[in-house]
Amino acid sequence: MKNILVQKRFEELFDSTKDVKISEPDSLGTQYVDSASWLKWATNVQNLLLRVFGENTPHYKNFLNVFNGFQRYPSQFKNAISVFLAAKEDYEGEYLFQLDNLIAGEILGDFVSLAKITLKEGNKDVAAVLASAALEDALKKYASKNDLDVNDKVMQEVVSALKSKGLVSGAQKSLLDTMPKLRDYAMHANWEKIKSEDVSSIIGFVEQFLLSNF
């Protein structure tokens, strides 16, 4: 999901490309980009790309290559704009976040599959831990995707945050009310309080939640 402030910053930097001045041709017909206005624009773009995409992505790396090799030629400025526009397009299309969600869904799906196998083999307690971990991570990732700050929150607080924003409702909301208690039983080794049916319930919920949201 797009962040309003990030989207606004992309628009501002796109508009400010016109503030980067290019000189009139000299006697040899060569033009140069004004170094001060270029440096201001490029630094702002570099900061945005680093924060949104990370330093190991093509968007950031390609922009950094242009920046490091910049010799004030207008063609290099056009290359920098092209990289910036590619990043802007990917952000606006939410392609980055779709990929993140897909990867997250696959990883969590593996946890759920392992929990199902473990439960079938009679290892209820291990299955409970795997399923509970997958559930908690799925809820936090879903909350973060919807701009909720839940990194240091306990599961009950995550559930409350999702409910308050209307991100869970109906039967899903009712089922979630019981999940934090089961999660706590599993994570604190209160095995006698967890039944196989409880573990199956967690697994079923996570499977449906991943299908709906990842």
Question: Contact at 8 Å (CB) between 82 and 66?
Answer: no
> Tens digit of pLDDT for each residue in 7-26?
899 999 999 999 999 999 99
The model carries a pTM of 0.50
Question: Contact at 8 Å (CB) between 46 and 70?
Answer: no
Question: Contact at 8 Å (CB) between 48 and 13?
Answer: yes
Backbone dihedral angles phi then psi of residue 72, each to the nearest 5 degrees: 75, 20
Residue 98 is predicted with a pLDDT of 52
What single-letter amino acid sits at 74? P
d(Cα 180, Cα 148) in Å, to the nearest integer? 18
What length is written for the chain? 214
Residue 85 is predicted with a pLDDT of 97
Residue 158 is predicted with a pLDDT of 86
Annotation: CATH topology of 96-213: Four Helix Bundle (Hemerythrin (Met), subunit A) (1.20.120)
The structural domains of the chain, with segments of one domain joined by +, span 4-93, 96-213
Residue 101 is predicted with a pLDDT of 58
Residue 155 is predicted with a pLDDT of 83
Residue 63 is predicted with a pLDDT of 97
Q: pLDDT by residue for the chain (214 residues), tens digit each?
A: 567 888 899 999 999 999 999 999 999 999 999 999 999 999 999 999 988 888 888 999 999 999 999 999 999 999 999 999 999 998 888 766 555 555 566 777 888 899 999 999 999 999 999 999 888 888 888 888 788 888 778 888 888 888 888 887 766 777 788 888 888 888 888 999 999 999 999 998 888 888 777 7
d(Cα 147, Cα 143) in Å, to the nearest integer? 7
The neighbouring-strand residues paired with 22 are 33
The full DSSP string for the chain is ---HHHHHHHHHHHHGGGGS-BPPP-TTS---B-HHHHHHHHHHHHHHHHHHH-TTSHHHHHHHHHHHT--S-HHHHHHHHHHHHHHHHHHHTTHHHHHHHHHHHHHHHHHHHHHHHHHHTT-HHHHHHHHHHHHHHHHHHHHHHTT---TT--HHHHHHHHHHTT-S-HHHHHHHHHHHHHHHHHHTT-GGG--HHHHHHHHHHHHHHHHHH-
